[in-house]
């Protein structure tokens, strides 16, 4: 057995012992939404427009117990979804989860990401959350997935960040030392880890970090095991992250939390430093931000296979003739106080609410503005907030 096969077998053993994520199974669709798993919302985020088709193929690469898979099915009612995972135990839970909630447009395969070429055809949307950093060879993994991404398709990825997980890595190494030849016995690892936490002084840095960030989540042994006794983990910084991205051969579209990557929020009181930073390229700027705010526990981002066309609505005629729709990931509508796609509170004016109510996927912006005196600047604000998504109406 090769080193890669040995590591993969150890990872499968962990998730057979502690199927992850451990979210409860429901006899109804899961609550709320995750916009990153909604094709319409994700495509709009990446391209500033509604996608031309919704009958897409979706791959959940490393689906685990199917928490994300279930959302992918329910949030994309016209999509055909495929889930793959290395753990038989996790897949069994995923199948039951989706069956119980009525997520019946999904097929599961016991398959490594390395072997994804065995699946037929290409995928318009590939979701790979919390998986690549557990592979012995993440570059080989992302390259395998990239080959299955259709032209114009999107890939959503989540990997760990080294700066915000420093204390976690220290505890992982400490547990491994204390386990000795019992390393690989994951139940023993959880027991050792919990005993360490209960024994360390309250002012210990590792204890304080656990209480601040992870204690509630880690009450469940499945979460504790995934965090502290995982047999394979690679954490990234911006520099090593882009080495991974470049190896994929895909286009980097952007991080899914762009607000974090704004230098003004850190150095806004020193405009001369912000001005100096304009000499940095994009990746250097990202690196500067994470060095100044080292709380990055993970990176979540989108890649795409060209052609990826980003819509430009600066032309007033194009905007006026476009057909607006409400973003599907909005909660609390209709109301002047709603949650946006990212569950942030947005307070709407009466005119903004009226415009959103008139977005019926048929009327153009111009037709709505004829009765709702919001103005083009107001429409642009709604677009910037991603409360509406637009479709070009070339016939007008």
The crossing angle, in degrees rounded to 10, of helices 221-228 and 166-179 is 90
Summarize the chain as % helix, strand, coil (round to 5).
Answer: 45, 15, 35
CA distances from 53 to 76, 94, 106, 274, 320 (A): 11, 27, 19, 41, 22
| Percent of the chain whose pLDDT exceeds 70 | 99
146: its two tokens: 């990239």
Residue 207 to residue 199: CA distance in whole angstroms: 10
Phi (first) and psi of residue 380, to 5 degrees = -60, -35
Residue 31 has pLDDT above 60, yes or no: yes
CB 74 within 8 Å of CB 103: yes
Share of the chain above pLDDT 90, in %: 97
Q: Tell me what pLDDT residue 393 has.
A: 85
- List, for residues 213-261, the tens digit of each pLDDT value: 999 999 999 999 999 999 999 999 999 999 999 999 999 999 999 999 9
For range 368-388, the mean pLDDT = 96
Q: What is the pLDDT of residues 70-86, one digit of tens each?
A: 999 999 999 999 999 99
pTM comes to 0.96
Give CA–CA dist 254/303, Å, rounded: 7
Question: Count H helices, E strands: the chain?
Answer: 17, 11
pLDDT band per the 50, 70, 90 thresholds, residue 3:
confident
Sign of the torsion angle spanned by Cα atoms 140, 144, 150, 156: negative
Q: What is the pLDDT of residues 185-221, one digit of tens each?
A: 999 999 999 999 999 999 999 999 999 999 999 999 9
pLDDT at 226: 98
Q: Is residue 1's pLDDT more than 80?
A: no
Would the pLDDT of 4 be above 90? Answer: no
Q: Nearest CA to 215 among 235, 201, 236, 198?
A: 198
**Burial of 220 (C-beta count, 10 Å sphere; 0-12/13-18/19+):** middle
Token digits of residue 238: 């911006």
- What topology does CATH give the domain 3-162+235-304? Rossmann fold (3.40.50)
The per-residue pLDDT for 396 is 41
Residue ranges of domains in the chain: 3-162+235-304, 167-228, 316-387
Q: pLDDT for 112-166, tens place per residue?
A: 999 999 999 999 999 999 999 999 999 999 999 999 999 999 999 999 999 999 9
Query: In which band, very low, low, confident or very high, does the pLDDT at 2 lie, cut at 50, 70 and 90?
Result: confident
Q: Is the peptide bond before 21 cis (omega within 30 degrees of 0)?
A: yes
Q: What is the pLDDT of residue 345?
A: 97
Segments of 51-208 assigned E as strands: 57-61, 80-85, 106-110, 123-129, 149-160
């Amino acid at each position: 057995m090769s080193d890669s096969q040995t590591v993969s077998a150890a990872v499968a053993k962990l998730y057979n012992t502690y199927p992850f994520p451990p979210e409860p199974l429901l006899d109804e669709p899961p609550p709320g939404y995750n916009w990153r798993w909604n094709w319409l919302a994700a495509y709009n985020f990446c391209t500033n427009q509604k996608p031309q088709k919704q009958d897409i193929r979706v791959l959940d690469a490393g689906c685990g117990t199917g928490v994300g898979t279930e959302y992918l099915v329910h949030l994309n009612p016209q999509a055909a979804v495929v889930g793959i995972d290395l753990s038989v135990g996790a897949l069994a839970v995923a199948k039951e989860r989706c069956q119980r909630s009525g997520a019946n447009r999904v097929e599961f395969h016991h398959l490594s990401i390395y072997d994804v070429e065995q699946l037929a055809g290409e995928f318009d949307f590939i979701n790979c959350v919390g998986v690549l950093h557990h592979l012995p060879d993440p570059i080989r993994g992302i390259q395998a997935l990239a080959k299955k991404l259709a032209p114009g398709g999107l890939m959503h990825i989540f990997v760990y960040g080294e700066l915000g997980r420093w204390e976690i890595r220290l505890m992982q190494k400490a547990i491994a030392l204390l386990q000795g030849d019992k390393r690989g016995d994951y139940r023993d690892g959880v027991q050792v880890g919990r005993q360490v936490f209960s024994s360390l002084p309250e002012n210990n840095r590792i204890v304080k970090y656990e209480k601040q960030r992870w204690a509630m989540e880690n009450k469940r042994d499945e979460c504790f095991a995934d965090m502290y006794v995982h047999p394979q983990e690679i954490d990234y910084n911006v520099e090593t992250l882009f080495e991974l991205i470049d190896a994929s051969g895909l286009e980097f579209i952007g991080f899914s939390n762009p607000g974090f990557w704004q230098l003004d929020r850190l150095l806004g009181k020193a405009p001369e430093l912000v001005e100096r930073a304009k000499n940095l390229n994009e990746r250097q700027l990202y690196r500067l931000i994470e060095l100044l705010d080292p709380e990055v526990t993970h990176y979540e981002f989108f890649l795409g296979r060209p052609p990826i066309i980003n819509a430009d609505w600066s032309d007033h005629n194009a905007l006026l003739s476009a057909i607006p729709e409400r973003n599907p990931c909005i909660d609390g509508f209709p109301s002047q106080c709603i949650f946006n796609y990212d569950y942030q509170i947005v307070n709407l004016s009466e005119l903004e609410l009226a415009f959103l109510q008139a977005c019926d996927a048929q009327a153009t912006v111009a037709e709505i503005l004829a009765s709702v005196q919001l103005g083009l600047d107001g429409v642009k604000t709604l677009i910037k907030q991603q409360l509406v998504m637009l479709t070009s109406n070339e016939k007008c």
